[in-house]
């Protein structure tokens, strides 16, 4: 059964803008307009405040956990144009690195899959996307894609490292040379795919469908199937699912998931990549699932703060 297993009162003094659990689902990071980032231990239904991270001078928009093989690392981005990377060492959280290379609000941060190393993509309202890579001992390497989106970049999301097709063409026996890719969405109403080639980031694809600012993009996790999937949502209330079966990654087809009445702010994929959580200005959360015949259907409606996902499809997934 779908059940609420924890309700965390963050005591943030202002509105919350993001909440995310770590890899194992044991810790929760939240960020708020009150300029703070908080980390809670939520193991076994508890909610112990582990850290209250102050360092931003503006509302904090988003947080992102790095893969645990690099340690307990959290990135946060803020209106104050800064990206701060926090690290827990000996139980205390501290600033590990502060990136100040953007000229406007940084709206989105996303860590790459661990195979790519400790790499963070940051999208900013100055239109640029920065790729911040930890190249060893406290050395940070910055690559910046200027003018990635005119007016501003609102969201970034990495492609999974397991991208079927990309590996098959590898010279046999060599360790697969991961092609780093990510997707971004911006105020130019575009969804753009980026690819690293010879150490340079290049625009790979430009996906057009939205009629207003793209607010979030999410590259679905791969389970090893030869299809890449991306969800994008926009101010125009539309959510599109982009799929690409083509191993070369050039042909993307869009499918309208739904048109909402208000802005859609966020899309999030389940770990198996078959359920999409959509949330937006209407203060509601809906879950969507693709049926066997390729249609997307809303399987539940998480009501505003009321609690349970009224699961329409409880257990249905288990019936074969």
Partner 1 sequence: MAARWSSENVVVELRDAQATAMSVDCLGGHAVLSGRRFLYVVNLETPSEAPRKIGRPSKWDVGTVQWNPHKAESHVFAASSNQRVDLYTWRDGCGEVHASLQGHTRVISDLDWSWFEPEYLVTSSVDTYICIWDTRDTRKPTVALSAVAGASQVKWNKRNQYLLASSHDGDVRIWDKRKPNTAVEYVAAHLSKIHGLDWHPDNEHILATSSQDNSVRFWDYRQPRKYLNILSCQVPVWKARYTPFSNGLVTVMVPQLRRENSLLLWSALDLNSPVHAFVGHDDVVLEFQWRPQKEASKDYQMVTLSRDQTLRIWRLDPQLQKLCANDLVEDLMEGISLTTESEKSLPSQDPEPTVHSSGLPSEDLQGEDQAGSLTSGGRHDPSALPQTLQQEFSLVNLQIRNVNVEMDAVNRSCVVSALFGTNQVHLVVKFPSHYPNNAAPSFQFISPTTIPTAMRTKIQKILTDTSLQKVKRNQNCLEPCVRQLVSCLESYMTQEDGSAANPYVLSNPVTPALPAFPRVTNTYGSYQDANIPFPRTSGARFCGTGCLVYFTRPITMHRSVPPTEPTPRSLSALSAYHSGVLTPMKMRSESQSSLRLYSGSPTHTDKDHVSISSFYYKERKPAQSVLRRWSIHDCPKSRRFKTKREGADYGNRPIKLAGKIIIQEISCLLPVHKALGETYILNVNDIQDTCLKNAAAALVVGRRDMAKVWALASAATSLELSPDSDPDADAPWARHPFGRHLLETLLDHYSLMSDVQTLAMLCSVFRSQGCSQDYFSLYGQHRSSLFPSHHLRYPSYTSSSVSSGSCYSTSDSTTTTTWSIGRDPEHIPPLGESSPDDYRYANQMYADPREREREQHDMNKRLLDPANTMQFDDFKKCYGEILHRWGLKEKRAEVLKFTSCPPEPHKGIEFGVYCCHCRSQARGTQCAVCKRFTFQCAICHVAVRGSSNFCLSCGHGGHTSHMMEWFRTQDECPTGCGCRCLLQSTF
Per CB under 8 A, contacts with partner 1 among 219-258 are 221-226, 235, 237
Radius of gyration of the chain (CA): 19
CB-CB contact of 251 with 271 (8 Å): no
Task: Give the helix/strand (H/E) hosting 156.
Answer: strand 153-158
Indicate which single residue of 89, 98, 103, 197 sits in contact with partner 1 (rule: CB under 8 A): 103
CB-CB contact of 45 with 53 (8 Å): no
* Stretch near partner 1 under the rule CB under 8 A, chosen from 50-58, 84-92, 93-101, 130-138: 50-58
| 3-32 residues near partner 1, rule: CB under 8 A | 3-26, 28, 30, 32
* Stretch near partner 1 under the rule CB under 8 A, chosen from 86-94, 137-145, 197-205, 267-275: 267-275
Closest CB to partner 1 among residues 26, 135? 26
Indicate which single residue of 134, 217, 244, 299 sits in contact with partner 1 (rule: CB under 8 A): 299
* Stretch near partner 1 under the rule CB under 8 A, chosen from 85-93, 130-138, 200-208, 271-279: 271-279
CA distances from 312 to 110, 284, 299, 303, 318 (A): 31, 16, 5, 13, 13
| x-marked contacts with partner 1 along 120-149 as a string, rule CB under 8 A | -----xx-----------------------
Closest CB to partner 1 among residues 199, 305? 305
CB-CB contact of 127 with 148 (8 Å): yes
At CA 59, angle to CA 58 and CA 65, rounded to 5?
110
Indicate which single residue of 192, 210, 215, 238 sits in contact with partner 1 (rule: CB under 8 A): 215
Q: Which residues contact 6 (CB under 8 A, 6 or more apart)?
A: 42, 45, 46, 47
* Stretch near partner 1 under the rule CB under 8 A, chosen from 132-140, 159-167, 190-198, 249-257: 159-167
Q: Which residues contact 306 (CB under 8 A, 6 or more apart)?
A: none
Closest CB to partner 1 among residues 119, 267? 267
CB-CB contact of 203 with 193 (8 Å): yes
Give the three-class secondary structure for 38.
strand
266 is an interface residue for partner 1 by CB under 8 A = yes
Distance between CA atoms of residues 118 and 138, nearest Å? 11
| 167-196 residues near partner 1, rule: CB under 8 A | 167-168, 171-176, 187
Distance between CA atoms of residues 86 and 248, nearest Å? 37
Indicate which single residue of 74, 112, 152, 228 sits in contact with partner 1 (rule: CB under 8 A): 152
* Stretch near partner 1 under the rule CB under 8 A, chosen from 102-110, 128-136, 197-205, 242-250: 102-110
Closest CB to partner 1 among residues 180, 289? 289
CB-CB contact of 108 with 122 (8 Å): yes
Indicate which single residue of 61, 86, 178, 252 sits in contact with partner 1 (rule: CB under 8 A): 61
Strand 190-197, strand 181-186: pairing: antiparallel
CB of residue 138 to partner 1, shortest distance in Å: 26
CB of residue 195 to partner 1, shortest distance in Å: 20
70 is an interface residue for partner 1 by CB under 8 A = no
Distance between CA atoms of residues 227 and 164, nearest Å? 7
CB of residue 184 to partner 1, shortest distance in Å: 13
Structure tokens given for 176: 């697969």
275 is an interface residue for partner 1 by CB under 8 A = yes
CB of residue 134 to partner 1, shortest distance in Å: 21
CB-CB contact of 76 with 53 (8 Å): yes
């Amino acid at each position: 059964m779908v059940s609420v297993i924890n309700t965390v009162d963050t005591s943030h003094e202002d509105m919350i803008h993001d909440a995310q659990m770590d890899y194992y689902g044991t810790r929760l990071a939240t960020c708020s307009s009150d300029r703070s980032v908080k980390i809670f231990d939520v193991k076994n239904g508890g909610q112990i405040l582990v850290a209250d991270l102050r360092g931003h001078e503006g509302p904090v928009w988003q947080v992102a956990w790095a893969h645990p093989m690099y340690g307990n690392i959290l990135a946060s981005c803020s209106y104050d144009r800064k990206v701060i990377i926090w690290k827990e060492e000996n139980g205390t959280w501290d600033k590990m690195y502060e990136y100040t290379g953007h000229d406007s609000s940084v709206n989105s941060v996303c860590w790459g899959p661990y195979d790519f190393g400790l790499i963070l993509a940051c999208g900013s309202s100055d239109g640029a996307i920065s790729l911040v890579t930890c190249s060893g001992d406290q050395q940070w390497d910055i690559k910046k894609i200027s003018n990635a989106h005119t007016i501003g970049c609102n969201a970034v999301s990495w492609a999974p490292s397991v991208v079927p097709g990309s590996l098959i063409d590898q010279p046999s026996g060599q360790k697969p040379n991961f092609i780093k890719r990510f997707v971004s969405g911006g105020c130019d109403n575009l969804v753009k795919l980026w690819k690293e080639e010879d150490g340079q980031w290049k625009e790979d694809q430009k996906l057009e469908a939205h009629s207003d600012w793209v607010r979030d993009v999410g590259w679905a996790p791969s389970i090893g199937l030869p299809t890449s999937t991306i969800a994008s949502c926009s101010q125009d209330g539309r959510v599109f699912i982009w799929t690409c079966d083509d191993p070369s990654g050039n042909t993307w087809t869009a499918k309208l998931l739904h048109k909402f009445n208000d802005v859609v702010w966020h899309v999030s994929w389940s770990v198996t990549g078959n359920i999409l959580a959509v949330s937006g200005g209407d203060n509601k959360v809906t879950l969507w699932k693709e049926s066997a015949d390729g249609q997307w259907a809303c399987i539940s409606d998480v009501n505003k703060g009321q609690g349970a996902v009224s699961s329409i499809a409880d257990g249905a997934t288990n019936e074969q």
